[in-house]
Chains A and B, each alone.
Chain A
Amino acid sequence: MYSSVKTLALSGLVGTEINVEADMSDGLPVFEMVGFLGGEVKEARERVRTALKNNGITLPPKRITVNLSPADIRKTGTSYDLAVAVSLLKLLGEIPTDAADGMMVIGELGLSGKVHAVSGVLPMVIQAKEIGIKKCMVPADNYTEAAAVDGMEIAGVNSIDEMLSFFNGELTDCIRERKQTCISGGGYDVDFSEINGQETCRRAMEIAAAGMHNILLIGPPGAGKTMLAKRLPTILPAPDHGECMEITKIYSVAGLLGNGQGLITTRPFVNPHHTISQVALAGGGGLPKPGACTLAHRGVLFLDELPEFSHNALEILRQPLEEREINIQRAQAACTYPADFLLCAAMNPCRCGYYPDRSKCRCTDNDVRKYLGRISGPLLDRIDICAEASEVDYGSLKGNGKNESSDSIRKRVERAANIQHERYAGTGIRFNSEISVRDIETYCHLGAAEERMMRNAFESMKLSARAFHRMLRVSRTIADLDGSADIKVNHLSEAIGFRSIDGRYWNG
């Protein structure tokens, strides 16, 4: 006697189809599970046996073998329990032998027979769809998440009881057609209208959001750098359905989706503490889990107190900033996680935080330079925009209640994003920040007056050559925000004004 049920094994965001095969034959009574199982999968034997017993189904005294095939892929996690239970029930004749045919079964069991939520349901369901499966059985708590996938029949079950009724055709209303759960935009609990003053940072963040330029905020403690950064996702273009799926997939794998939470429709804001390790930032573990830079995918990675981060941790950001994904190699698996984020960093101008206010700051110029020197050059090279967050005085603290809201800023940002979208159609570039040095002459062409202005600025302000291309990219974005096809002198000037710091910048 033999039965088989389909389920999935996830490695990173990619799944492999797994067949749970069960066989019952004569011999010494034993319940054995094989197929390269991790510790938690081996324990499934006890959970399944007890859960069935507590629902009035006792395993007969026969030799029962369960194999998870293909047997050369290591299985981890608790999502196999339900599939093992279904295969046994088919074997025992508790449910029809054609039950669960063409269906993928995911879920963890409790001893009482309750079906618990598991992580990674969304990517599994997406993968199931790709391999042509039309129906999925998931824990009821994961129903909304799984229902986000188009054209998939989802059964959300709470317990073995419900599962039995479902397969015996007694309970059908737990299978429902997928509801539209994706709502565009909105949904943030913070807004730019709550920020008084800080005109400089407002403008800098608008430009950063429009062209996906990485941004550095400099300012004294308590100026509101974190408050500003938290509002950066709210002015980024609203994520489309595909992006929502990507974000939700990652949070699902990381086990960070709340019970009953469906598609995430807001851009993530990830704010790791500066003591974060390399692995926590990049992702890792035996079977690699996503790290902070993957959790910030399609959103904002905020590094507060940038000079306090360990040099090693920051160095690993170079790959994701360059390739927008991160490869993690471990003994058991190698996986690639997406990591396309907008980097927002914040720092004090010096160790005490008050430079150049000499009534508070006693750091010498050398101290200030040393403090700046703690940021790695290659990372600084990826930051296009730099702005000062100044201390807020009482007048602007009280505010006049007429601050511009995130919605109205986002409208301008989206308009600029559309211009870029049209201009770069078919080139592989999405935003101005991605223009390669080779293409810069094509997209950031300067007229005679602009060339002259740039030359003057370079000579009299001693700008560094490394910053040149970054300034051109930013000026392209400013021109797009302005709706101007050409980069004009005022766009260039503003880009120079927002240029990032470089080594010799902070002198006298």
Chain B
Amino acid sequence: MAEERYIARFEDDFPARLRFIPGCPSGIYVKGELPDPERKTVAIVGSRACSHYGYSMAEYFASHLASAGVQIVSGMARGIDGIAQRAALDAGGVSYGVLGFGLDVIYPKENKDLFDMITERGGLITEHPGGTQPVKAFFASRNRIISGLCDLLLVIEARLQSGTSITVSNALEQGRDVFAVPGRLTDPLSAGCNKLISEGAGIARTPDDILRALGLSYEKPVVVKRRSRDDAFTVIKPAPAELTEKEKLVYECLDLYPKGLNELVRQTRLSVSELLEILISLSVKGVAKECAKHNYIKIWQNW
């Protein structure tokens, strides 16, 4: 069990990056490690109610960056935060969680496994003493610590008005780089990201873009390893699944956004029975997934 400790602002252990941000906390409570100041740190943030596109993108960026040795900071929340941190740990990297409540509280409960894992390979940081319960106001002020700890802030998915915009303005105030993952123009969940890009944020098309901005070279493609639940290390990229002609046709029709079965019927002109058979076969091969009843997404192969 990792030890909890308190580090005051004037102590040497206090993260240097944090010391000079506006509104620097007078001290922080830490469980586990603090981010290594010698290594690059990226904060990955985004919507709590994210789409499957956001889910895939958070996993994609977090696992690549973590594999390249970048430390991932985020807020341990539902949605993008938790997905990115879990992906970073699963890829064998380290991650740090910044909380808006005491270290003895676990919130949200469904991230309990993440709370357990992160203190082993990373750490939890908060400015609130033990016993502080999650309160809305604290979440906004926690965001300045997330952006304060990082070299670069990456926004995966955000609405126009969202908590993420607070993190972004904090990051800009603190002089951190901001990158955003572009999305569809019609998708309100990506509207915040697209607006950031139009205002001059960096465009994150691949993890390469981020690594270059951090000044890290990235010559050889990183092989992402992922720790599966039974602790064995497996390479995530599967051998290209052998697909039949019809499977290819259906696979091409799928997207990272969920598509309903009726829409697929119209696009492929196959019968419902035939389509279901192909979709089940694609799911068994691990290249598609049913994300809600009769709504399917492609599982991204471009790892």
Q: Is the CB of A349 within 8 A of B293?
A: yes
Q: Is the CB of A461 within 8 A of B187?
A: no
User: What is the minimal beta-carbon distance from B164 to any residue of chain A, in angstroms?
Assistant: 14
Which chain B residues lie closer than 8 Å to A141 at the CB level? Answer: none
Write the A490-508 contact mask toward B (1 if CB under 8 angstroms, else 0): 1001101110010000101
User: What is the minimal beta-carbon distance from B16 to any residue of chain A, in angstroms?
Assistant: 36
- Residue among A197, A218, A359 with max Cβ neighbours from chain B (10 Å): A359
Is A275's CB within 8 Å of the partner chain B? no
User: What is the minimal beta-carbon distance from B300 to any residue of chain A, in angstroms?
Assistant: 13
Which chain B residues lie closer than 8 Å to A395 at the CB level? Answer: 266
Q: Is the CB of A356 within 8 A of B284?
A: no
Write the A465-508 contact mask toward B (1 if CB under 8 angstroms, else 0): 00000000000001000000000011001101110010000101
Q: Is the CB of A200 within 8 A of B286?
A: no
Measured in the bound complex, the distance between the Cα atoms of B288 and A457 in whole Å is 13
Which chain A residues lie closer than 8 Å to B290 at the CB level? Answer: 461
In chain A, what residue has the closest Cβ to B189? A358
Binds B, one of A101-109, A325-333, A361-369: A361-369
Q: Is the CB of A497 within 8 A of B78?
A: no
Which chain B residues lie closer than 8 Å to A218 at the CB level? Answer: 292-294
Is B49's CB within 8 Å of the partner chain A? yes
Q: Is the CB of A494 within 8 A of B276?
A: yes
Binds B, one of A13-21, A61-69, A299-307, A383-391: A383-391
Supposing A197-B262, A390-B261, A390-B263 touch, asked if A358 and B51 sit within 8 A by C-beta, the answer is yes
Measured in the bound complex, the distance between the Cα atoms of B283 and A198 in whole Å is 23
Measured in the bound complex, the distance between the Cα atoms of B279 and A359 in whole Å is 25
Which chain A residues lie closer than 8 Å to B277 at the CB level? Answer: 489-490, 493-494, 497
Q: Is the CB of A388 within 8 A of B261?
A: yes
A:346-385 near B, CB below 8 Å: 349, 355-359, 361-366
**The one of A358, A388, A493, A508 that contacts B294, using a Cβ cutoff of 8 Å:** A388
Measured in the bound complex, the distance between the Cα atoms of B130 and A373 in whole Å is 32
**The one of A202, A363, A387, A508 that contacts B293, using a Cβ cutoff of 8 Å:** A387
Supposing A198-B262, A497-B280 touch, asked if A356 and B291 sit within 8 A by C-beta, the answer is yes
Is B108's CB within 8 Å of the partner chain A? yes
**The one of B78, B261, B262, B266 that contacts A365, using a Cβ cutoff of 8 Å:** B78
**The one of A197, A355, A457, A460 that contacts B292, using a Cβ cutoff of 8 Å:** A355
Supposing A359-B187, A365-B78, A388-B294 touch, asked if A200 and B262 sit within 8 A by C-beta, the answer is yes
Q: How many residues of B contact A (CB 8 A)?
A: 42
Supposing A356-B52, A358-B49 touch, asked if A366 and B110 sit within 8 A by C-beta, the answer is yes
Measured in the bound complex, the distance between the Cα atoms of B279 and A456 in whole Å is 14
In chain A, what residue has the closest Cβ to B79? A364
Which chain A residues lie closer than 8 Å to B188 at the CB level? Answer: 358-359
Q: Is the CB of B273 within 8 A of A494?
A: yes
Is B163's CB within 8 Å of the partner chain A? no
Which chain A residues lie closer than 8 Å to B284 at the CB level? Answer: 453, 456-457, 460-461
Which chain A residues lie closer than 8 Å to B257 at the CB level? Answer: 358
Is B101's CB within 8 Å of the partner chain A? no
Which chain A residues lie closer than 8 Å to B280 at the CB level? Answer: 457, 461, 493-494, 496-497
User: What is the minimal beta-carbon distance from A332 to any residue of chain B, in angstroms?
Assistant: 46
Which chain A residues lie closer than 8 Å to B52 at the CB level? Answer: 356, 508
Which chain B residues lie closer than 8 Å to A496 at the CB level? Answer: 276, 280
Which chain B residues lie closer than 8 Å to A364 at the CB level? Answer: 48-49, 78-79
Supposing A199-B262, A460-B286, A508-B52 touch, asked if A358 and B293 sit within 8 A by C-beta, the answer is no
Q: Is the CB of A363 within 8 A of B283?
A: no
Is B55's CB within 8 Å of the partner chain A? yes
Is B27's CB within 8 Å of the partner chain A? no
Is B295's CB within 8 Å of the partner chain A? yes
Is A203's CB within 8 Å of the partner chain B? yes
Q: Is the CB of B78 within 8 A of A200?
A: no
Supposing A199-B262, A460-B284, A496-B280 touch, asked if A386 and B49 sit within 8 A by C-beta, the answer is no
Q: Is the CB of B291 within 8 A of A508?
A: yes
User: What is the minimal beta-carbon distance from A13 to any residue of chain B, in angstroms?
Assistant: 39
- Residue among B50, B79, B283 with max Cβ neighbours from chain A (10 Å): B283
Which chain B residues lie closer than 8 Å to A506 at the CB level? Answer: 292
Which chain B residues lie closer than 8 Å to A197 at the CB level? Answer: 262
Measured in the bound complex, the distance between the Cα atoms of B80 and A365 in whole Å is 12
Supposing A364-B78, A390-B261, A457-B280 touch, asked if A200 and B294 sit within 8 A by C-beta, the answer is yes
**The one of B49, B83, B262, B274 that contacts A390, using a Cβ cutoff of 8 Å:** B262
Q: Is the CB of A388 within 8 A of B293?
A: yes
**The one of A386, A461, A501 that contacts B283, using a Cβ cutoff of 8 Å:** A461
Which chain B residues lie closer than 8 Å to A361 at the CB level? Answer: 49
In chain B, what residue has the closest Cβ to A458? B284
B:252-275 near A, CB below 8 Å: 257-258, 260-263, 265-266, 271-274
Is B186's CB within 8 Å of the partner chain A? yes
Q: Is the CB of A362 within 8 A of B276?
A: no
Measured in the bound complex, the distance between the Cα atoms of B258 and A349 in whole Å is 14
What would be 14 A-B contacts, judged by CB atoms less than 8 Å apart? Answer: A199-B271, A200-B294, A356-B52, A356-B295, A358-B189, A358-B257, A387-B294, A388-B260, A388-B295, A390-B260, A460-B285, A478-B273, A497-B276, A497-B279
Return the 6 tightest CB-CB contacts between A and B, nearest first.
Answer: A497-B276, A388-B294, A358-B51, A493-B277, A203-B272, A493-B280
| Interface set of B (CB-CB < 8 Å, partner A) | 48-52, 55, 78-79, 83, 108, 110, 186-189, 257-258, 260-263, 265-266, 271-274, 276-277, 279-281, 283-286, 290-295
Further pairs besides A202-B272, A218-B293, A365-B78: 15, Cβ < 8 Å: A199-B262, A203-B272, A357-B258, A358-B51, A359-B186, A364-B49, A365-B49, A365-B79, A388-B294, A390-B260, A395-B266, A457-B280, A460-B285, A489-B277, A490-B274
